[in-house]
Chains A and B, each alone.
Chain A
């Protein structure tokens, strides 16, 4: 499962020399990035590194000040914004479920905006509840009655509802407890495989990046400082800071392994 996709035809998402500043603060400076079919790309970085801004440029929640964003070869600036977003799934840490709509209505939002028939909307909601492992009884409940993990499952289902090819995820599991985070992460990775999605996920959790990504790009101060498969990142980071970043999970794993060894001794 090595994922770097150069040479696999046309990139699905292509950012070329994009820049975005907030006043005098430059969040993203002259970044180039391509995401390939079926790729799971993780953007890793500290808070303030510009990773969220870079992600939001893809669905124009943050339009770039300069540079181009292409989806399947077409510049996003030429498409009506809301049309663009209806075809790109978007999941973020604070979930943002509509509190006045039931679980089913939340999931059905984008298909209804696209004018699907009620029949196909209903079938799609049932299908998605099963897909994200939520019982069908959840459908008529309001978000306030759900746990944090259940809410983000609904968030993922809502993003997938209109069968997008691309999923953008901004620290989607960051607010969840470690057990839920791990299971949701791996369940989502399976969905990504099964549905042949292109996923761009932002996180500051190195271990999560290593476990989920086909390819990791590391951002610092608005620029990409490293890019490679998890394997390359662990074994051959060219950048000293990236090496330090990758050493941390390695050290933790070594210590855990030592503990396991100790426990096995009689």
Chain B
């Protein structure tokens, strides 16, 4: 517990600093655009309706989807820029988060700004015209000052939203306080989840209070109060931005998806690169759809993916080949289409499988999915939240004619408890999951070859294809992690008692690999 807290605390400066800089930049950009739209909307009733409708529409898009949508969009733009000007830009992390959050901040600012200006006494507007102000002078000297308190209230709302929503930028590769939450949820590390939530909440409250000082300062027309609020905010942002300058030395970017095994492997690869004399930063918790695109475009340098995932989701193949020919075809395709180097397989598979308690399986005489099919009508099946909608399930059903008496969906932790307690007889399982060995579960064989092979493979970006440091660091890992070892490593992180951090587990794993290699 103390260990976890200390671990979370150590990560705070980096996460907080990125979170603050991202939120501040998004607010600044959002404000500039919003204020321009406010001016256009108050000057023309014809513009007003579409502007307000557009801002409201953005709010109806789920924020996570909004963030995720910007990645492919920017990737396409970057490709276009690269083609036209010969200069691309990184579509991962900061930029998509910035744009999505800036859009997200707009509604309260626009709504309050428009209301604030339109609610000004018409006599005051007539006086402003009567004394000979131009439209701009009227805006700066009369309309904006009078709308300022209401506008500030909108800015406060927007700031709180942006700081909260910025936690969702982790899956598109932007480090934020959301890294605590995403990794914590995945690793069942509630200290980390709570730490992230509390940090984001405290940040939002502090910023809200400071903006509140500015707001009351504007309402009371107290310049010192406004200046104090602005100065405190500026100092806060400047202090938060300080650690950013120091991270510039890192040269390699190690990417990872959002589950325990990936966190361990990212820590393992980072440690290996450091030992080989390189410096690496991590982009963890990336969405499955984002991570390959990030590698292909060079936003990350290396990560571990699974052959079946690439086969089905990236190559969009629907056939199910055998293991070796599939890896060879994949290697050739990756090199040809994306210049991506497949360094090799780590030595284990993390496939979907069906698992039963060993005693129950033996009692029923089940060793393969074909055996299972004969008993399925008396058995109940539990799956994780997405299993029943995945192609693997459809493939299994059609290959073996599986028809269970009942089926239920579970969050993974509860799914393992359910099979342990006999509430369900069969569960969907990832084959490298440590709980399979720990709970003495049997993964049923797939004689028909219905499920795609999911070999864990190390992928390297085009620009690092011949990088010595990377090859020296990672080559010893190829073929060095058998399934049982990965299962044990995963179990150290996933178990409910004596949980270890991914970093500690990565160190353990590295020692194990070294010991076995000798």
Contacts and interface: CB of A to CB of B under 8 A. Distances in A.
Contact of B145 (A95, A100, A142): A100
Contact of A86 (B127, B132, B141): B132
Interface of A: 59, 61, 82-87, 90, 92, 94-100, 109-110, 113, 142, 158-159
Nearest to A59: B130
B127 A98 contact: yes
B128 interface: yes
17 contacts: A59-B130, A61-B126, A61-B130, A82-B137, A84-B132, A85-B129, A92-B123, A95-B127, A96-B126, A96-B130, A98-B127, A98-B142, A99-B124, A100-B142, A110-B131, A110-B132, A158-B131
B132 A61 contact: no
A53 B141 CA distance: 27
B148 to A, nearest CB: 9
Given A100-B146, A113-B137, A94 B123 contact: yes
B133 A82 contact: yes
Given A94-B123, A100-B145, A61 B128 contact: no
Interface string B405-431: 000000000000000000000000000
Contacts of B142: 98, 100
B134 interface: yes
A90 B137 CA distance: 18
Contact of A109 (B131, B134, B145, B146): B131
Given A96-B121, A96-B124, A98-B142, A61 B129 contact: yes
Interface in B112-168: 121, 123-134, 137, 141-142, 145-146
A96 B126 CA distance: 7
B130 A85 contact: yes
Given A100-B145, A100-B221, A85 B131 contact: yes
B123 A96 contact: yes
Nearest to B129: A61
Interface string B208-227: 00000000000001000000
Contact of B132 (A92, A95, A100, A113): A113
A100 B124 CA distance: 11
A94 B121 CA distance: 10
A84 B132 CA distance: 7
Nearest to A84: B132
A103 to B, nearest CB: 14
A84 to B, nearest CB: 8
A86 B131 contact: yes
B128 A98 contact: yes
A134 to B, nearest CB: 18
Nearest to A83: B132
Contacts of B129: 61, 85
Q: Which 6 A-B pairs have the closest CB atoms?
A: A96-B127, A86-B132, A85-B132, A94-B123, A90-B130, A96-B123
Contacts of B127: 90, 92, 95-98
B126 to A, nearest CB: 6
Interface string B446-468: 00000000000000000000000
Nearest to B126: A96
Given A96-B125, A113-B133, 14 more contacts: A82-B133, A82-B134, A83-B132, A85-B132, A92-B130, A94-B126, A95-B127, A96-B124, A96-B126, A96-B128, A96-B130, A97-B127, A99-B121, A110-B131
A63 to B, nearest CB: 12
A92 B129 CA distance: 12
A111 to B, nearest CB: 10
Contacts of A142: 221
Contacts of A159: 131
Contacts of B146: 99-100
Contact of B124 (A85, A98, A110, A113): A98
Contacts of B131: 85-86, 90, 109-110, 113, 158-159
Contacts of A86: 131-132
Nearest to B146: A100
A92 B134 contact: no
Contacts of A94: 121, 123, 126
Interface in B26-44: none
Contacts of B141: 98, 109
Contacts of B123: 92, 94-96
A142 B219 CA distance: 13
Contacts of B128: 96, 98
B226 to A, nearest CB: 13
Nearest to B134: A82
A90 B126 CA distance: 10
Contacts of A109: 131, 133, 141
Contact of A82 (B132, B145, B221): B132
A165 to B, nearest CB: 14
A72 to B, nearest CB: 17
B32 to A, nearest CB: 23
Which interface residue of B124, B129, B132, B221 has the most chain A CB atoms within 10 A? B132
Contacts of B221: 100, 142
Contacts of A87: 132
B221 to A, nearest CB: 6
